[in-house]
Structure 1
Amino acid sequence: MTGIERLAKALVWIVAAATVVFLMTPLAVAVAVSFGSSAVFTLPAPGWSLRWYEALGRSRDLWAAVATSAEIAALSTVIALVLGTLAAIGLVRGSFRGREAIVTFLVSPLMLPGLVVGIAMLEAFRGMGLRHVWASLMVAHVVITLPYVVRTVYAALALFDFTLIDAARTLGLSYPRAVLAVLVPALAPAFITSGMFAFLASMDNYPISIFFTDAWTKTLPIQMLQYVEESPDPTIAAISTLLILLAGAVLVVGDRLVGLRRMADL
């Protein structure tokens, strides 16, 4: 390895390390503040305490928002998995014009600003007469989670050999049983990966959810914003820490079930 190559490698590592520090520092600050005893955001903390986690346990509004977000995230993820898988199979197996355009359209919510998508869906729902808050939130979250499923399952199906299903049928299995025995296990990593990212995207969504909540039905990000505006104290840092732990737990589960390298490849 020449001197220039060693210098280039060292610069790459320095830039990578600086990027990691830049991205992780706000998370570390939030975690540290959540364990402080001060009633304001102060670092270094004058002392260490669990008072903000205890306050979090007593907040009914926050836990109601957590329950709402969890319900919507779970249901929208399941619906997106079903619709996204059916759409991906049709796009991979079908031979018709405009297939690539449809794929781009289905993943377009990832490419557009969330506020733009939220305003567009708000106007569309009003035009259709859909004014129920919970139903509007559910449909909106299906729209924002569907791209994760379509993109991941479509990539996995593109690598799948569909002649394996025909081989299973020649061995005596019916078509539905052949699909369950051959296709579903092959797509399991894609299901797990897309489901985890879809669930986290729904739990963490703010720019679209803000258009469909009211005083009685709020998702966690909306409730957190209101909490910051009305009573900003380190309780919000405790919530953020729990969300960081949730994301970390999802990555650990994904690593155990699928593997981080395989998740990245999908």
Structure 2
Amino acid sequence: MNRAGPRRAGPVLWIAAAAGYALLLSPVVVVAVVSFSAGQFLAFPPPGLSLRWYQALFANAEIMTALATSATLAAVVTVLSLLVGLPTAYAIARLTFPGRRLLADLLAAPLLLPTLVIGLALLLALQPLKLVATWPGLVLAHCTLAVPFAVRIMTTAIAAVPAELEAAARTLGSGPVRAALRVTLPLSVPGILAAAALSFLVSFDETVISLFIVGPRLTTLPVELFRYAENRTDPLVAALSMLLIVIALAVVLLVERAAGLTKTLAKD
């Protein structure tokens, strides 16, 4: 009996894939080249190559302060997203209760709404509470986007763990909480790490919502980039963009190496 093996990709598919990668990566290549420009203005190709704009970037006190703010904010948002999202994801994936479907739909709502609408709504809600331009206000605003992402990924990861394993642990004497912590949770670690990485990146790269919440003394790196680009057209903007890209890539590669982010997200 002949079994057909996996089909090889034809030349047309290879060409289409190469064209797709070129289309996606060409802007990054252009920004990377411009970030090493020796000129005074954004231009491609650059008149020469230099590290002057990276030196200017790391010497800029405002940008470095915004970088520290974004990193700290993203770390706090990640921890809160996991603390809130993990029990919520377990309840949606494992338990049966009235309003379960409604809860899942409500958590998915921020993913469907334009961030401009969410930002304006948060501004109107936080302003009377005097939380605008404060750390609690920024954390709450970023959690509005990060928590739904974390819940979605962890729900998929928990649902992928066979419920029979947890049931077997309970028949052997483990309580519901212990069975969940000793069986389901360890097997869901790749999904939890993926949710943590995505929560960090969502918070670190968020611009639109942050524009509504930040103030003159408390700003994030993407907002600082936006403000800088409004008034200047030098290659420091490209150097700062490359810094954002490198940080995001480092987070993704770290989680991919630790838990297989690609495989985890592929289960969704």
State the AA in 2 paired with 1:194: A
Partner of 1:51: 52
Write the distance in 2 (CA, Å) between the matches of 1:88 and 1:167. 21
Cα displacement string for residues 34-64 of structure 1 (whole angstroms, at most 9, x for unaligned residues): 1111111122222211111110111000010
Partner of 2:98: 97
Worse overlay, 228-237 or 59-68: 228-237
Partner of 1:78: 79
Write the distance in 2 (CA, Å) between the matches of 1:164 and 1:120. 43
Write the distance in 2 (CA, Å) between the matches of 1:100 and 1:169. 26
Cα displacement string for residues 185-233 of structure 1 (whole angstroms, at most 9, x for unaligned residues): 1111011111111111111111111100110000111101111122321
Write the distance in 1 (CA, Å) between the matches of 2:130 and 2:75. 25
What is the CA-CA distance between 1:24 and the residue it aligns to? 1.2
Q: Which runs of 5+ in 2 are unaligned?
A: 1-6
RMSD: 2.3
What is the CA-CA distance between 1:176 and the residue it aligns to? 5.2
What is the CA-CA distance between 1:65 and the residue it aligns to? 0.3
Write the distance in 2 (CA, Å) between the matches of 1:38 and 1:198. 37
State the AA in 2 paired with 1:123: L
Write the distance in 1 (CA, Å) between the matches of 2:101 and 2:66. 38
* 2:77–2:142 contact (8 Å) kept in structure 1: yes
Write the distance in 2 (CA, Å) between the matches of 1:26 and 1:261. 27
State the AA in 2 paired with 1:16: A
* SS of 2:233 mapped into structure 1: coil
Write the distance in 2 (CA, Å) between the matches of 1:186 and 1:40. 52
State the AA in 1 paired with 2:265: M
User: Are 1:161 and 2:162 counterparts?
Assistant: yes
* SS of 2:127 mapped into structure 1: helix
Change in CA separation of 1:239 and 1:130 when aligned onto 2, cut-off 3 Å = closer
Write the distance in 2 (CA, Å) between the matches of 1:113 and 1:70. 24
Write the distance in 1 (CA, Å) between the matches of 2:95 and 2:256. 33
What is the CA-CA distance between 1:128 and the residue it aligns to? 4.5
Partner of 2:267: 265
Write the distance in 2 (CA, Å) between the matches of 1:106 and 1:78. 18
State the AA in 2 paired with 1:52: W
* 2:70–2:204 contact (8 Å) kept in structure 1: yes
Tell me the TM-score normalised to structure 2 length. 0.88
* SS of 1:232 mapped into structure 2: coil
* SS of 2:239 mapped into structure 1: helix
* 2:132–2:138 contact (8 Å) kept in structure 1: no
Write the distance in 2 (CA, Å) between the matches of 1:74 and 1:233. 31
Partner of 1:134: 135
Write the distance in 1 (CA, Å) between the matches of 2:119 and 2:221. 17
Write the distance in 2 (CA, Å) between the matches of 1:232 and 1:216. 24
Partner of 1:146: 147
State the AA in 2 paired with 1:18: A
What is the CA-CA distance between 1:248 and the residue it aligns to? 1.9
Worse overlay, 147-156 or 251-260: 251-260
Partner of 1:121: 122
Q: Which runs of 5+ in 1 are unaligned?
A: 1-5
State the AA in 2 paired with 1:206: T
What is the CA-CA distance between 1:146 and the residue it aligns to? 0.5
Change in CA separation of 1:143 and 1:116 when aligned onto 2, cut-off 3 Å = same
State the AA in 1 paired with 2:226: L
Partner of 2:251: 250
What is the CA-CA distance between 1:16 and the residue it aligns to? 3.3
Worse overlay, 21-30 or 97-106: 97-106
Worse overlay, 98-107 or 73-82: 98-107
Tell me the TM-score normalised to structure 1 length. 0.89
Partner of 1:64: 65
Change in CA separation of 1:208 and 1:153 when aligned onto 2, cut-off 3 Å = same
What is the CA-CA distance between 1:14 and the residue it aligns to? 3.7
User: Are 1:20 and 2:21 counterparts?
Assistant: yes
Cα displacement string for residues 126-152 of structure 1 (whole angstroms, at most 9, x for unaligned residues): 355544522111100111100111101
Partner of 2:3: none
